[in-house]
Structure 1
Amino acid sequence: MSKIKGQRAIIHRKAIIARLDELSAEDLPKNKRRMKALEIFKQVLASGRAEVRARFDAHGDGTATVRENCLLIDQLVRLVHDYACDREFPQGVRTAGETMSLVAVGGYGRGELSPHSDIDLLFLLPYKRMPYHEQVVEFILYMLWDMGLKVGHSTRSAEDCVRNAKADLTVRTALLEMRWLWGDQALFEDLRTRYRAEIITGTAEAFVESKLAERDSRHSSMGDSRYVLEPNVKEGKGGLRDLHTLYWIAKYVYRVENVAELAEKGIISRPAARRFAKAQAFLWAVRCHLHYLTDRPEDRLTFDVQPEIAVRMHYADRACSRGVERFMKHYFLIAKDVGDLTRLFCAVTEETFKTKPRRLQLGRLFSRRTIVGGFQLEGGRLDVCAQNQFETDPVGMIRLFHTALEHGVDIHPHALDLVHRNLKRIDAGMRNDPAANRLFVEMLTSRKNPEVALRHMNEAGVLGRFIPDFGRVVAQMQYDMYHVYTVDEHTVQALGILHAIERGDLKDEAPTSSEVIHQVVSRRALFVAVFCHDIAKGRGGDHSTLGAEVVMKLGPRFGLTDEETESAAWLVREHLSMSRVAFKRDIDDSKTISDFVALVQSPERLRLLLCLTVADIRAVGPTVWNAWKAGLLRELYSRALEVMTGGLSGTARAARIKAAQDALRSELFKLSWPPEDIEAHIARGYSTYWTTFDTPIHLRHARLVREAEAVRAPLTVEPRVDSHRAVTEIIVYTGDHPGLFSQIAGAMAVSGANIVDAKIITLANGMALDTFCIQDSDGGAFDSPAKLAKLATCVEQVLSGRTRLDRELAARKGKLPSRAHVFKVPPRVLVDNMPSRSHTVVEVNGRDRPGLLYDITNAMTNVGLQISSAHISTYGERVVDVFYVKDVFGHKIEHGRKLDQIKAALLAALEDPAAKAAAKTGDGTKAAE
């Protein structure tokens, strides 16, 4: 490790001692002298930190910065210790029992301190605590605390340390990194000797097991994916803590002081050691930037800090990608490298414990070696038969993953390391090799889970080399609050979901696609389309169109027929069409269905598109898919299929309506409803009502309407918390009138609720039965009883005219979650008369904020529009709201000036109140000047 340059610029020990000597020479009371000493130490800390920060701002080297921070604290602790012993509690002769050693432990012991990291100190005593020890330890700690440092500490003897280390893995790990700091060095050496003899000896295997189990638990709690878009630099998968785990294992098992020594001893390769150092340096730089930028010990790389850190680390915007996206792509590639190093090191460690392999559960173990598909089973995992196997047979790299998938075995990290070293052999010749492509397509379309093989191929770097178009989206983030994973991770998960649909694992969540997937003829085209649906993201232009062009090139290479290639290309080109129609158009409008049928053209394409759409949406994130979206897609599929199969008369739809009504009749009969009440309720619903909801929701509505009608309640508000979707569903039953939707939306905004979905229903009795899905400002379910009570009261007061919405909302506007402010969504209003024969369709795009839906719908009411149906969609920070409207006379709006008036009013409603207020302030300032 190189020596820190210019140490005295960070902290000048002799100069500080001179200042403290001058202070001691002054005739001052003890308390005043302590306060002046504290001021000196504070100045030293501040100036040292400023110097380290200036150096970091100049060179951006995180590795140097954490060492320089450590140097500063080392010298400061030593100075405080000496001041305490020599000036505050001087002793002429110190007994053996009063000696003490200061020991740095944990990350501080490793010699690494981020700008806002805690300091872990061990005050090591000979055997028992003496009054003198208590005085010195207390003085040191209070001085450090008063300087603003966060200090974790313990005061123990070597015997205490050994006993605690045997019982507690955390203590054992902290002591593993102990470093003598100051004081009696013999005490420290005694502890280190005892630690090695009494703790490490004979326990290495158990320690490795425990640390890997601890790592797995941490990964699970952090989401168990290194591709989440707001990663934790320290604790997340592929982060610094994973590197620390490797370091701990190396030090415990191989008695080395750093990873470079592992390479020197031949335990790992020198390239692997260099990758470790490179990954650690990058992660340290990111963490230092995080701490300096937020001015706190922040380890989450959240959306609001990512752009600034990208600028500070010199990631510039390019033609087809933003600097922040390039920075995050590099981050994810580094996290992937950390995963590769982990697998490799686990294999090396397993070899160390070869005599007792079953206890170290790093893979399934077979009793003897077996040759499978040209590879040998080593410890239950697939390994190469020869060190040069991939040099003589590059296609073997594809065959390795194919064999592992077919036989359901893991791949040995040694084989993966060889794959990594031979990636350059995957060239144009191998990409066009028929055998290699056949093996790949067999994996992609396997009845076993293709997600497993493709994830391993992707993490090994094979997938991006074999299919360069896919390599362009590896680790590519989608910089918004909607997508949870990188493009490649989303794609791999989509394939796993498609497999789950085919297996029938998602019958409850996606019943229609689980049924029709077994009717598709072009199964290979479907799986290829799912693999390629986002393959052209980040290139500029429409990724659907560009992706279809990629498929037209890949299809023949994969061995697809012309028909399969054309089908896969069409699916990629139109992979967003079904969700766009289902979620943004009124599927009760006959023109919506006829236009969609004209696009899809055949039942086979319809089935394929449904399956792809479900897999795509379900893979966006764990809370994106829900029963509502499933119902809309199911209804669109059913209506389109009716038209395609000759159901123009609506007979099939009538049968579905009757089936829905009969199902509700049966449930209400079980609840002892009188037949006349059942029929009266069924008569209230128009045909669209019966095809929009399922029986449980129909039943819930029936109960609510009956209870409201029985007491002649003018307003009923009923909540239901859906914890799985992290939303609260609110049903509002009241008399319908112009502006009702806007008033309810405003009341919810005043109550602090954010509407993420809405469905407008008007019954035959003139009553509105509107459903809203709401969340709180943090994106969680709006589930507090107090909040729900306030919401119900607020809706009632607004509808009765007792609350002025404009005044109530003024205080709330502009209050966004901090992360949302970083995203810019250009406002856009589209007014279109083509999608519907009876309505004008208005699509509004903008950045989400509290009260936005109220502003939009209030603007519509003010320009004389009647909202017949609304389709509210929220994609993270972006809203896409579609309204089917008519004018006050019940007609479409076709006059040019009226259309311009609508656009202007809605664009004004989309303006950010905070920006508007800032603009007004600026105007006022200019006027004053």
Structure 2
Amino acid sequence: MHVIIWMLRVCFNHFNFDRINIPAINANEWKNILTDYNKIKVLRYFLNYKYGTNRISFDYQISIARKLGHQNRKSLSSVELFMKEFYGIASRISDFNELFIQYCHENLKNNKKSKSIKTKNLFLKDILDIFHKIGNRNKEFYIDLNTLSSIKSSIRKIKDQEFLSSDIQKSFIKLLTSKYNLSSILKKLKQLGLLKKLIPEFGEIEGQIQFDRFHSYSVDEHTFKVVRNMRQMFINKVDQTLKVECELIRRLPKIEILYLAGIFHDLGKGKGGDHSKIGIKIFKKFALRSKMNKSDSFLISWLIENHLFMSSVAQRMDVYDLKTVKNFTKTVDTVEKLDYLYLLTINDIRGTNEELWNSWKHNLLKQLYLSSRKILNKEIRIGDKSNINEKKNKLNTIFSVQNKKTKDILMQMPDIYFQKTSLRSLEKHFHLLKTLNASGVSILVEKNKDYLKLNLISKNMSGLFLRICNILNTLLLEVVDANINTSKDGKIAINTFLIKHRKLGNKLNNDDLKKITNRIKKAFNEEKLDILKIGKVSNPFSFKTHVEIHNDLQSNKTVVTIEALDTANLLSRIAKIFYENKIDVDSARITTLGERVEDNFYVFDRKTESNVSENKCARLQKVLLRL
């Protein structure tokens, strides 16, 4: 707004802000913009007076919401209501800024790229036809201000029921198949208020946020980002790491099915409750209005209901275990469902939070997708060890007879280790085993695109997981994922940790990697295991810790699932509890979701080397709930 005020003074010699004659903004809209501007000024003054900042951080949002008189409602908390109002104000000012810049271009340079439509009585079909023409024209998206003014004026005169007619709803679906400018078209439909006329429930999620670090955007902005990600993937304007997905998305029988799933998957959040189930009800109303065929309607409803399923399995379960994949395919029972769900999942995550998407998460999802596809196509079956045997045979071929002792140690590892470890990593582990030093540890730290990979091979020992967690915590390294594998004879542990620095992320040089390696080796040379006094760290968010423990009869291990607020030392605290209760970790899956974590551990009783007894599980759960 400051820039606009300056431009009005300098470029237009305009000092009275009560009214500016911009065609696409009527008197009432201008009044609302001034009101929004005054609210922003009051909010900024309060932030500076109370906290000495212009930033509405998580730490201040709750107190500001209370100060402004917002009360909790059934579907939204007071802070979410406050931020919804703020996002609405910011969005309207942003839209006005866009129109004002266009106004400057058209008036100062007489820059008009298309013929104006000046009638104030456009039919709804005519309005949508304008967007259809733009969508099928390989030119930059542009609608002049006079035409925008005509569209807005006409929309106000059209009855709500007309927007919900079958022909208009079908026209909207057809719009999603536009060859060009789809993202810009959807954005303009929202700015004009057309989108919430076509899909009334969309208006309920405009500006809606969730008070967490997991969701970076309001629900409506997230929805646009998801569809935009899909569109960019379809026209091959994405990173080369998504090459497979680009090919897959162009082979979909109906791209509009994916776009509709992207538009509707979170619309249920405006109602409160299970947004997936509510989203299905919202979509079914749309499907009836548009007279969509039953097969398309069923598929989109299924995608909305299960849009979190694939990411949940990839993050919580071992996607290299064929039993996990088999269970997954019981729900995702056709290749068509799998293709659509995979593409929806990837673009949903990419549109939620830029820090959430990384090559590690991509690899997990791709592994689950490829394995599921093979099972659905009956290319592999449960219990098939051909892949494991192939890797073992290649290792035997690569390494000579002189390395028999090292090979024998490696062959002591369980099948699941070979199943989830690439041949390249197996070769690295082979060399690390050869250099296992007197202290009983061999380390390799690799730098990948999004994270560091710590390969740590050591003699198995009591409290190994706690020792590693303490070391990493001291080095300000947080664990993204952990694969812990113990040899069948219990003598050797081959551990792979995906880690990143809490402050520097992945911006570490080779000297940093050497220092990390040396510090870990030095810590392992210390015979005594330090049981650090680890306290809780304050967190502006609230989340009730949830712990589930059950015995897995097939693996003879106990599965511990922990959902809790993320803190810098959480993993060390969990490891300390395991150690003190004489429980060893067999494998772990660490998942960070904004301000909270979902950690899954396969553990066993140190004394019996089997699953944990029911009484001990109950005691363990009580202790873990105090995290």
Could you tell me the TM-score, scaled by structure 1's length?
A: 0.61
Q: Which residue of 1 aligns with 2:201?
A: 469
1:680 offset after TM fit, Å?
A: 3.6
Question: C-alpha offsets along residues 370-429 of structure 1, whole Å, 9 cap, x if unaligned?
Answer: xxxxxxxxx225x652231xx341233333333222213322244334444454446442
Does the CA contact (< 8 Å) of 1:871 and 1:881 recur in 2?
A: yes
1:262 offset after TM fit, Å?
A: 3.3
1:853 offset after TM fit, Å?
A: 0.6
Does the CA contact (< 8 Å) of 2:565 and 2:597 recur in 1?
A: yes
Q: Which residue of 2 aligns with 1:121?
A: none
Asked if 1:742 is matched to 2:477, the reply is: no
Q: Equivalents in 1 of 2:419, 2:180: separation in Å? A: 36
Q: Choose the corresponding residue for 2:496, options 771, 795, 798.
A: 771
Q: Choose the corresponding residue for 2:41, options 284, 307, 311.
A: 284
Q: Which residue of 1 aligns with 2:85?
A: 330
Asked if 1:393 is matched to 2:123, the reply is: yes
Q: For residues 634 and 845 of structure 1, do their structure 2 counterparts lie closer, same or farther at Cα, with a shift above 3 Å needed? A: same
Which amino acid in 2 is paired with 1:256?
H
Q: Which residue of 2 aligns with 1:380?
A: 113
Q: Which residue of 2 aligns with 1:603?
A: 335
1:872 offset after TM fit, Å?
A: 0.2
Q: Choose the corresponding residue for 1:754, options 457, 461, 478.
A: 478
Q: Secondary structure at the match of 2:559?
A: strand
Question: Which one has the largest radius of gyration?
Answer: 1
Asked if 1:783 is matched to 2:541, the reply is: no
Which amino acid in 1 is paired with 2:125?
V
Does the CA contact (< 8 Å) of 1:344 and 1:414 recur in 2?
A: no
Q: Secondary structure at the match of 1:328?
A: helix
Q: Equivalents in 1 of 2:63, 2:293: separation in Å? A: 48
Q: Equivalents in 2 of 1:465, 1:656: separation in Å? A: 56
Q: Which residue of 1 aligns with 2:31?
A: 274
Asked if 1:318 is matched to 2:73, the reply is: yes
Q: Which residue of 2 aligns with 1:402?
A: 132
1:823 offset after TM fit, Å?
A: 0.6
Q: Equivalents in 2 of 1:633, 1:570: separation in Å? A: 19
Which amino acid in 1 is paired with 2:483?
K
Q: For residues 348 and 791 of structure 1, do their structure 2 counterparts lie closer, same or farther at Cα, with a shift above 3 Å needed? A: closer
1:486 offset after TM fit, Å?
A: 1.5
Q: Choose the corresponding residue for 1:644, options 368, 376, 381.
A: 376
1:567 offset after TM fit, Å?
A: 1.0
Q: Which residue of 2 aligns with 1:717?
A: 443
Q: Which residue of 2 aligns with 1:907?
A: 625
Q: Secondary structure at the match of 1:321?
A: coil
Q: Choose the corresponding residue for 1:484, options 203, 216, 229.
A: 216
Q: For residues 345 and 798 of structure 1, do their structure 2 counterparts lie closer, same or farther at Cα, with a shift above 3 Å needed? A: same
1:576 offset after TM fit, Å?
A: 0.9
Q: Equivalents in 1 of 2:584, 2:195: separation in Å? A: 53
Q: Which residue of 2 aligns with 1:181?
A: none
Which amino acid in 2 is paired with 1:731?
N
Which amino acid in 2 is paired with 1:806?
I
C-alpha RMSD of matched pairs (Å): 3.3
Does the CA contact (< 8 Å) of 1:829 and 1:842 recur in 2?
A: yes
Which amino acid in 1 is paired with 2:71?
A
Does the CA contact (< 8 Å) of 2:320 and 2:367 recur in 1?
A: no
Q: Equivalents in 2 of 1:313, 1:428: separation in Å? A: 33
Q: Choose the corresponding residue for 1:532, options 248, 251, 264.
A: 264
Q: Secondary structure at the match of 2:267?
A: coil
Question: C-alpha offsets along residues 680-719 of structure 1, whole Å, 9 cap, x if unaligned?
Answer: 498576543454355665565455455x34x666223333
Q: Choose the corresponding residue for 2:586, options 854, 868, 891.
A: 868
Which amino acid in 1 is paired with 2:570?
L
Q: Which residue of 2 aligns with 1:340?
A: 95
Q: For residues 617 and 762 of structure 1, do their structure 2 counterparts lie closer, same or farther at Cα, with a shift above 3 Å needed? A: farther
Which amino acid in 2 is paired with 1:397?
I
1:283 offset after TM fit, Å?
A: 1.0
Q: For residues 505 and 350 of structure 1, do their structure 2 counterparts lie closer, same or farther at Cα, with a shift above 3 Å needed? A: closer
Q: Equivalents in 1 of 2:540, 2:411: separation in Å? A: 50
1:325 offset after TM fit, Å?
A: 1.1
Q: For residues 902 and 342 of structure 1, do their structure 2 counterparts lie closer, same or farther at Cα, with a shift above 3 Å needed? A: same
Q: Equivalents in 2 of 1:507, 1:266: separation in Å? A: 40
Percent identical: 24
Q: Equivalents in 2 of 1:712, 1:511: separation in Å? A: 45
Does the CA contact (< 8 Å) of 1:575 and 1:613 recur in 2?
A: yes
Q: Which residue of 2 aligns with 1:246?
A: 4
Q: Which residue of 1 aligns with 2:326?
A: 594
Q: For residues 395 and 621 of structure 1, do their structure 2 counterparts lie closer, same or farther at Cα, with a shift above 3 Å needed? A: same
Q: Secondary structure at the match of 1:881?
A: strand
Asked if 1:456 is matched to 2:188, the reply is: yes
Does the CA contact (< 8 Å) of 1:631 and 1:693 recur in 2?
A: no
Q: For residues 506 and 346 of structure 1, do their structure 2 counterparts lie closer, same or farther at Cα, with a shift above 3 Å needed? A: closer
Question: C-alpha offsets along residues 453-475 of structure 1, whole Å, 9 cap, x if unaligned?
Answer: 22222233321232111221121
Q: For residues 301 and 576 of structure 1, do their structure 2 counterparts lie closer, same or farther at Cα, with a shift above 3 Å needed? A: same
1:615 offset after TM fit, Å?
A: 1.3
Q: Which residue of 1 aligns with 2:568?
A: 850
Does the CA contact (< 8 Å) of 2:135 and 2:180 recur in 1?
A: yes
Question: Higher relative CO (CA 8 A, sep ≥ 6), structure 1 or 2?
Answer: 2
1:657 offset after TM fit, Å?
A: 7.1
Question: C-alpha offsets along residues 104-163 of structure 1, whole Å, 9 cap, x if unaligned?
Answer: xxxxxxxxxxxxxxxxxxxxxxxxxxxxxxxxxxxxxxxxxxxxxxxxxxxxxxxxxxxx
Q: For residues 659 and 448 of structure 1, do their structure 2 counterparts lie closer, same or farther at Cα, with a shift above 3 Å needed? A: farther
- Give the count of matched residue pairs: 621
Does the CA contact (< 8 Å) of 1:449 and 1:496 recur in 2?
A: no
Residues 95-494 of structure 1 mapped to structure 2, 5 A cutoff: 243-260=1-18, 262-263=20-21, 269-294=26-51, 296=52, 298-355=53-110, 357=111, 379-381=112-114, 384-388=116-120, 391-407=121-137, 408=139, 409-425=141-157, 427-448=159-180, 450-494=182-226
Q: For residues 644 and 244 of structure 1, do their structure 2 counterparts lie closer, same or farther at Cα, with a shift above 3 Å needed? A: same
Q: Equivalents in 2 of 1:675, 1:412: separation in Å? A: 77
Q: Equivalents in 2 of 1:825, 1:904: separation in Å? A: 17
Question: C-alpha offsets along residues 725-776 of structure 1, whole Å, 9 cap, x if unaligned?
Answer: 3x43333222233431222112211233232332323467953332323344
Q: Secondary structure at the match of 1:556?
A: helix
Does the CA contact (< 8 Å) of 2:483 and 2:497 recur in 1?
A: yes
Q: Which residue of 2 aligns with 1:688?
A: 416
1:574 offset after TM fit, Å?
A: 0.9
1:438 offset after TM fit, Å?
A: 2.3
Residues 31-46 of structure 1 mapped to structure 2, 5 A cutoff: none
Q: Equivalents in 2 of 1:248, 1:392: separation in Å? A: 36
Which amino acid in 1 is paired with 2:621?
K
Asked if 1:577 is matched to 2:292, the reply is: no
Q: For residues 891 and 519 of structure 1, do their structure 2 counterparts lie closer, same or farther at Cα, with a shift above 3 Å needed? A: farther
Does the CA contact (< 8 Å) of 2:320 and 2:368 recur in 1?
A: no
Question: C-alpha offsets along residues 847-872 of structure 1, whole Å, 9 cap, x if unaligned?
Answer: 11122111112212333333222110
Q: Equivalents in 1 of 2:520, 2:573: separation in Å? A: 16
